[in-house]
Amino acid sequence: MKTPVIMDMDPGHDDVIALFLAAGHPDMDIRAVTTVSGNADIGKTTRNALVAADTAGLDKVPVAEGAGRPLVRMPEHAPSIHGESGLDGPALPVPAHMVEERHAVDVMEEVLLHSEEDITVIATGPLTNVALLCRKNPKAARRIRRLSIMGGGTFGNWTPAAEFNIYADAEAAEIVFASGIPITMCGLDVTHQALASESVVERIKEIPTMAAQFTYELLDHFQRAYEERFHLALPPVHDPCAVAVCLAPSLFTFESADVKVETAGKHTYGETVIDTTAGGPVQIAVDIDNDKFWGLIVQSLKNLP
Ligand code: BDR
Ligand code: CA
Protein backbone atom coordinates (compact mmCIF):
# COMPACT_ATOMS: atom_id res chain seq x y z
CA MET A 1 0.00 0.00 0.00
CA LYS A 2 1.19 3.53 -0.76
CA THR A 3 2.12 5.82 2.13
CA PRO A 4 -0.06 8.95 2.02
CA VAL A 5 2.05 12.04 2.76
CA ILE A 6 1.88 15.79 3.09
CA MET A 7 5.13 17.50 2.09
CA ASP A 8 5.68 20.72 4.08
CA MET A 9 8.67 22.60 2.69
CA ASP A 10 10.62 25.80 1.98
CA PRO A 11 12.14 25.04 -1.45
CA GLY A 12 15.13 25.25 -1.46
CA HIS A 13 17.34 23.01 -3.59
CA ASP A 14 17.24 19.95 -1.36
CA ASP A 15 13.50 20.38 -0.69
CA VAL A 16 12.87 20.03 -4.44
CA ILE A 17 15.00 16.87 -4.59
CA ALA A 18 12.99 15.56 -1.61
CA LEU A 19 9.78 16.27 -3.54
CA PHE A 20 11.12 14.48 -6.63
CA LEU A 21 12.15 11.47 -4.55
CA ALA A 22 8.63 11.19 -3.13
CA ALA A 23 6.84 11.96 -6.41
CA GLY A 24 8.80 9.39 -8.40
CA HIS A 25 8.51 6.54 -5.92
CA PRO A 26 5.68 4.05 -6.47
CA ASP A 27 5.13 3.62 -2.71
CA MET A 28 4.38 7.26 -1.94
CA ASP A 29 1.14 9.14 -2.50
CA ILE A 30 1.55 12.92 -2.12
CA ARG A 31 -1.77 14.35 -0.90
CA ALA A 32 -0.62 17.98 -0.60
CA VAL A 33 2.44 20.21 -0.81
CA THR A 34 2.51 23.05 1.70
CA THR A 35 5.00 25.89 1.85
CA VAL A 36 6.62 27.90 4.60
CA SER A 37 8.96 30.86 4.86
CA GLY A 38 12.54 29.67 5.27
CA ASN A 39 15.23 29.41 2.63
CA ALA A 40 13.54 32.40 0.95
CA ASP A 41 10.43 34.48 1.61
CA ILE A 42 7.06 32.78 1.32
CA GLY A 43 6.26 34.18 -2.13
CA LYS A 44 9.45 32.63 -3.47
CA THR A 45 9.19 29.28 -1.67
CA THR A 46 5.62 28.95 -2.97
CA ARG A 47 6.64 29.85 -6.52
CA ASN A 48 9.49 27.34 -6.28
CA ALA A 49 7.13 24.61 -5.03
CA LEU A 50 4.80 25.27 -7.98
CA VAL A 51 7.70 25.05 -10.46
CA ALA A 52 8.84 21.80 -8.82
CA ALA A 53 5.29 20.40 -8.94
CA ASP A 54 5.13 21.22 -12.68
CA THR A 55 8.48 19.54 -13.28
CA ALA A 56 7.41 16.42 -11.39
CA GLY A 57 4.03 16.25 -13.17
CA LEU A 58 2.10 16.69 -9.90
CA ASP A 59 -0.79 18.38 -11.72
CA LYS A 60 -3.49 17.10 -9.38
CA VAL A 61 -1.69 17.67 -6.09
CA PRO A 62 -2.75 20.83 -4.21
CA VAL A 63 0.05 23.27 -3.45
CA ALA A 64 -0.87 25.63 -0.60
CA GLU A 65 0.98 28.61 0.80
CA GLY A 66 1.59 28.66 4.53
CA ALA A 67 3.21 30.82 7.17
CA GLY A 68 4.99 33.90 5.88
CA ARG A 69 6.94 34.40 9.07
CA PRO A 70 7.96 32.49 12.19
CA LEU A 71 5.70 32.44 15.27
CA VAL A 72 7.71 34.95 17.29
CA ARG A 73 10.94 36.12 15.67
CA MET A 74 11.71 37.86 12.41
CA PRO A 75 12.10 35.74 9.23
CA GLU A 76 15.48 34.18 8.55
CA HIS A 77 16.45 33.27 4.96
CA ALA A 78 19.43 31.47 3.43
CA PRO A 79 20.49 33.28 0.22
CA SER A 80 24.13 32.30 0.79
CA ILE A 81 23.13 28.69 0.04
CA HIS A 82 19.99 28.88 -2.08
CA GLY A 83 20.50 32.26 -3.81
CA GLU A 84 18.09 35.18 -3.86
CA SER A 85 15.37 33.15 -5.63
CA GLY A 86 15.64 30.33 -3.07
CA LEU A 87 16.35 28.08 -6.05
CA ASP A 88 19.24 29.61 -7.98
CA GLY A 89 20.67 27.51 -10.82
CA PRO A 90 17.94 26.19 -13.12
CA ALA A 91 15.68 28.52 -15.13
CA LEU A 92 12.48 29.17 -13.18
CA PRO A 93 9.56 29.51 -15.61
CA VAL A 94 6.23 31.04 -14.60
CA PRO A 95 4.48 28.01 -13.08
CA ALA A 96 1.40 26.53 -14.74
CA HIS A 97 0.26 24.97 -11.44
CA MET A 98 -2.05 27.32 -9.52
CA VAL A 99 -1.63 27.87 -5.80
CA GLU A 100 -4.61 26.90 -3.60
CA GLU A 101 -6.71 29.74 -2.28
CA ARG A 102 -6.78 28.14 1.18
CA HIS A 103 -3.99 28.52 3.72
CA ALA A 104 -1.57 25.59 4.03
CA VAL A 105 -2.69 24.85 7.59
CA ASP A 106 -6.32 24.57 6.45
CA VAL A 107 -5.28 22.22 3.64
CA MET A 108 -3.26 20.07 6.06
CA GLU A 109 -6.23 19.95 8.42
CA GLU A 110 -8.61 18.89 5.67
CA VAL A 111 -6.30 16.19 4.31
CA LEU A 112 -5.73 14.83 7.82
CA LEU A 113 -9.39 14.80 8.84
CA HIS A 114 -10.78 13.44 5.57
CA SER A 115 -8.30 10.68 4.88
CA GLU A 116 -9.24 7.10 5.73
CA GLU A 117 -5.65 6.34 6.67
CA ASP A 118 -3.46 8.30 9.05
CA ILE A 119 -1.07 10.55 7.17
CA THR A 120 2.70 10.93 7.32
CA VAL A 121 3.88 14.54 7.30
CA ILE A 122 7.35 15.18 5.91
CA ALA A 123 8.60 18.61 7.01
CA THR A 124 11.79 19.89 5.41
CA GLY A 125 11.60 23.56 6.40
CA PRO A 126 10.98 25.52 9.60
CA LEU A 127 8.17 23.92 11.62
CA THR A 128 5.85 26.97 11.68
CA ASN A 129 2.95 25.37 9.78
CA VAL A 130 3.04 22.17 11.83
CA ALA A 131 3.08 24.17 15.08
CA LEU A 132 0.14 26.27 13.88
CA LEU A 133 -1.77 23.09 13.04
CA CYS A 134 -1.08 21.70 16.54
CA ARG A 135 -2.48 24.87 18.09
CA LYS A 136 -5.41 25.29 15.67
CA ASN A 137 -6.70 21.73 15.58
CA PRO A 138 -5.05 19.20 17.93
CA LYS A 139 -7.55 16.56 16.74
CA ALA A 140 -6.24 16.90 13.18
CA ALA A 141 -2.65 16.88 14.43
CA ARG A 142 -3.32 13.56 16.18
CA ARG A 143 -4.11 12.05 12.76
CA ILE A 144 -0.43 12.46 11.85
CA ARG A 145 0.85 8.90 11.87
CA ARG A 146 4.45 10.08 11.86
CA LEU A 147 6.18 13.40 11.38
CA SER A 148 9.48 13.01 9.55
CA ILE A 149 11.56 16.13 9.87
CA MET A 150 14.86 17.37 8.56
CA GLY A 151 16.23 19.53 11.33
CA GLY A 152 18.51 19.81 14.33
CA GLY A 153 21.49 17.66 15.24
CA THR A 154 24.38 17.57 17.67
CA PHE A 155 26.10 20.43 15.85
CA GLY A 156 24.91 23.51 13.99
CA ASN A 157 25.20 24.91 10.49
CA TRP A 158 23.48 28.29 10.91
CA THR A 159 25.09 29.05 14.24
CA PRO A 160 27.63 26.86 16.05
CA ALA A 161 24.69 25.46 18.07
CA ALA A 162 21.77 25.46 15.66
CA GLU A 163 20.69 23.92 12.38
CA PHE A 164 18.86 26.30 9.97
CA ASN A 165 15.31 24.85 10.06
CA ILE A 166 15.16 24.80 13.85
CA TYR A 167 16.90 28.17 14.20
CA ALA A 168 14.49 29.79 11.73
CA ASP A 169 11.56 29.06 14.09
CA ALA A 170 12.68 27.53 17.37
CA GLU A 171 9.42 28.41 19.13
CA ALA A 172 7.53 26.39 16.52
CA ALA A 173 9.98 23.51 16.85
CA GLU A 174 9.53 23.56 20.63
CA ILE A 175 5.75 23.22 20.23
CA VAL A 176 6.12 20.39 17.74
CA PHE A 177 8.65 18.37 19.77
CA ALA A 178 6.37 18.71 22.81
CA SER A 179 3.20 17.79 20.88
CA GLY A 180 3.25 14.03 21.34
CA ILE A 181 3.27 13.43 17.55
CA PRO A 182 5.58 10.47 16.77
CA ILE A 183 8.68 12.09 15.28
CA THR A 184 11.54 10.79 13.16
CA MET A 185 14.37 13.29 12.94
CA CYS A 186 17.05 13.48 10.29
CA GLY A 187 19.48 16.00 11.75
CA LEU A 188 22.82 17.17 10.47
CA ASP A 189 24.58 14.09 11.93
CA VAL A 190 22.95 11.94 9.28
CA THR A 191 22.41 14.46 6.48
CA HIS A 192 26.12 15.30 6.45
CA GLN A 193 26.64 11.69 5.34
CA ALA A 194 24.21 12.15 2.41
CA LEU A 195 26.83 13.76 0.21
CA ALA A 196 26.39 14.27 -3.52
CA SER A 197 29.61 12.84 -4.96
CA GLU A 198 30.85 13.82 -8.43
CA SER A 199 29.92 10.38 -9.75
CA VAL A 200 26.37 10.68 -8.41
CA VAL A 201 25.99 14.09 -10.05
CA GLU A 202 27.29 12.66 -13.35
CA ARG A 203 24.84 9.74 -13.10
CA ILE A 204 21.96 12.18 -12.65
CA LYS A 205 23.14 14.31 -15.57
CA GLU A 206 22.81 11.26 -17.87
CA ILE A 207 19.15 10.58 -16.97
CA PRO A 208 16.98 11.92 -19.83
CA THR A 209 14.07 13.26 -17.77
CA MET A 210 13.11 16.87 -17.01
CA ALA A 211 13.26 16.19 -13.29
CA ALA A 212 16.80 14.77 -13.57
CA GLN A 213 18.04 17.72 -15.62
CA PHE A 214 16.48 20.12 -13.10
CA THR A 215 18.15 18.18 -10.26
CA TYR A 216 21.50 18.27 -12.03
CA GLU A 217 21.28 22.07 -12.28
CA LEU A 218 20.21 22.32 -8.63
CA LEU A 219 23.14 20.17 -7.49
CA ASP A 220 25.56 22.16 -9.59
CA HIS A 221 24.57 25.38 -7.77
CA PHE A 222 24.31 23.64 -4.39
CA GLN A 223 27.83 22.21 -4.66
CA ARG A 224 29.36 25.61 -5.45
CA ALA A 225 27.39 27.31 -2.65
CA TYR A 226 28.50 24.74 -0.06
CA GLU A 227 32.08 25.08 -1.18
CA GLU A 228 31.99 28.89 -0.88
CA ARG A 229 29.95 29.16 2.33
CA PHE A 230 31.11 26.09 4.28
CA HIS A 231 34.32 25.02 2.45
CA LEU A 232 32.79 21.59 1.88
CA ALA A 233 33.83 20.01 -1.42
CA LEU A 234 30.72 17.80 -1.56
CA PRO A 235 27.32 19.17 -0.51
CA PRO A 236 25.17 17.38 2.09
CA VAL A 237 21.75 16.91 0.49
CA HIS A 238 19.67 17.14 3.64
CA ASP A 239 15.96 17.09 2.87
CA PRO A 240 15.56 13.88 0.83
CA CYS A 241 16.78 12.01 3.93
CA ALA A 242 13.42 12.84 5.56
CA VAL A 243 11.66 11.12 2.63
CA ALA A 244 14.07 8.19 2.34
CA VAL A 245 13.67 7.41 6.04
CA CYS A 246 9.95 6.80 5.39
CA LEU A 247 10.46 4.83 2.18
CA ALA A 248 13.37 2.67 3.30
CA PRO A 249 14.04 2.83 7.06
CA SER A 250 16.42 -0.13 6.69
CA LEU A 251 18.94 2.24 5.03
CA PHE A 252 19.30 4.03 8.36
CA THR A 253 20.29 3.29 11.92
CA PHE A 254 18.40 5.04 14.68
CA GLU A 255 18.72 6.11 18.29
CA SER A 256 15.75 6.83 20.54
CA ALA A 257 16.00 10.15 22.32
CA ASP A 258 14.26 12.89 24.15
CA VAL A 259 14.67 16.17 22.26
CA LYS A 260 14.21 19.63 23.70
CA VAL A 261 14.58 22.86 21.72
CA GLU A 262 16.49 25.81 23.14
CA THR A 263 14.49 29.04 22.78
CA ALA A 264 16.09 31.21 25.46
CA GLY A 265 19.86 30.73 25.14
CA LYS A 266 21.82 33.84 24.22
CA HIS A 267 24.27 31.83 22.08
CA THR A 268 22.32 28.61 21.66
CA TYR A 269 18.89 29.69 20.30
CA GLY A 270 17.58 26.89 18.09
CA GLU A 271 19.82 24.14 19.46
CA THR A 272 18.27 20.68 19.72
CA VAL A 273 19.22 19.27 23.12
CA ILE A 274 19.33 15.51 22.53
CA ASP A 275 19.22 13.11 25.46
CA THR A 276 19.77 9.47 24.51
CA THR A 277 20.57 8.26 28.02
CA ALA A 278 17.09 6.93 28.75
CA GLY A 279 15.70 6.45 25.24
CA GLY A 280 12.77 8.72 24.39
CA PRO A 281 10.00 9.30 21.91
CA VAL A 282 12.03 10.72 19.00
CA GLN A 283 13.63 8.33 16.51
CA ILE A 284 16.84 10.00 15.43
CA ALA A 285 18.53 8.72 12.27
CA VAL A 286 22.27 8.61 12.94
CA ASP A 287 23.71 6.62 10.01
CA ILE A 288 22.72 6.19 6.37
CA ASP A 289 23.70 3.87 3.52
CA ASN A 290 24.68 6.65 1.12
CA ASP A 291 24.91 4.44 -2.01
CA LYS A 292 21.43 3.02 -1.56
CA PHE A 293 20.08 6.48 -0.69
CA TRP A 294 21.28 7.87 -4.03
CA GLY A 295 20.02 4.72 -5.74
CA LEU A 296 16.51 5.60 -4.53
CA ILE A 297 16.82 9.17 -5.81
CA VAL A 298 18.16 8.04 -9.21
CA GLN A 299 15.26 5.59 -9.60
CA SER A 300 12.67 8.28 -8.77
CA LEU A 301 14.25 10.70 -11.23
CA LYS A 302 14.01 8.01 -13.93
CA ASN A 303 10.32 7.49 -13.13
CA LEU A 304 9.38 11.19 -13.44
CA PRO A 305 8.62 13.17 -16.62
C1 BDR B 1 18.15 22.74 5.97
O2 BDR B 1 18.14 24.15 5.78
C3 BDR B 1 17.78 24.46 4.46
O4 BDR B 1 18.65 25.41 3.93
C5 BDR B 1 17.79 23.18 3.68
O6 BDR B 1 16.75 23.20 2.71
C7 BDR B 1 17.54 22.13 4.73
O8 BDR B 1 16.16 21.94 4.95
C9 BDR B 1 19.56 22.30 6.27
O10 BDR B 1 20.00 22.89 7.45
CA1 CA C 1 14.48 22.83 3.41
Domain membership of residue 10 as a residue range: 3-303
pLDDT at 231: 96
Which ligand has the shortest distance to the CA of 83? 1
Q: Which residues pair with 277 in a beta bridge?
A: 279
**pLDDT higher than threshold 90 for residue 1:** no
Q: Report pLDDT digits (tens) over 183-213.
A: 999 999 999 999 999 999 999 999 999 999 9
Give percent of the chain with pLDDT exceeding 70.
100
Please compute, for residue 196, the number of CA atoms within 13 A of its CA located in the half-sphere on the CB side: 29
Please give the average per-residue pLDDT across 122-149, as a whole number: 98
Whether the model clears a pTM of 0.85, i.e. scores above it, the answer is yes
Q: How far is CA 41 from CA 48, 56, 162, 289, in A?
A: 11, 22, 20, 33
238 is catalytic: yes
* Best of 17, 41, 164, 166 for a ligand 1 pocket test (most atoms within 8 Å of beta carbon): 164
Q: Is cis: bond before 57, omega within 30 of 0?
A: no
Please give the average per-residue pLDDT across 1-29, as a whole number: 98
Cα of 223 vs centre of ligand 1, distance in Å, is 14
* Best of 8, 9, 13, 14 for a ligand 1 pocket test (most atoms within 8 Å of beta carbon): 14
pLDDT at 92: 97
**Rounded Cα distance, 27 and 116, in Å:** 17
Q: Which one from 103, 192, 238, 267 is the annotated catalytic residue?
A: 238
Answer yes or no: is the C-beta of 48 below 6 A from any ligand 1 atom: no
Cα of 193 vs centre of ligand 2, distance in Å, is 17
CATH number at residue 81: 3.90.245.10
- Taking the CA of residue 163 as reference, the ligand 1 atom at the shortest distance is 10
Give percent of the chain with pLDDT exceeding 90.
99
Q: How far is CA 175 from CA 92, 134, 172, 180, 271, in A?
A: 35, 8, 5, 10, 14
- The mean of the pLDDT values for the chain is 98
Asked if residue 131 lies in contact with residue 168, where contact means CB atoms within 8 angstroms, the answer is no
Q: What number of residues does the chain have?
A: 305
- Ion ligand 2: protein residues whose beta carbon lies under 5 Å: 10, 12, 15, 124-125, 239
Cα of 55 vs centre of ligand 1, distance in Å, is 21
Number of domains in the chain: 1
pLDDT class of 134 with cuts at 50, 70, 90:
very high
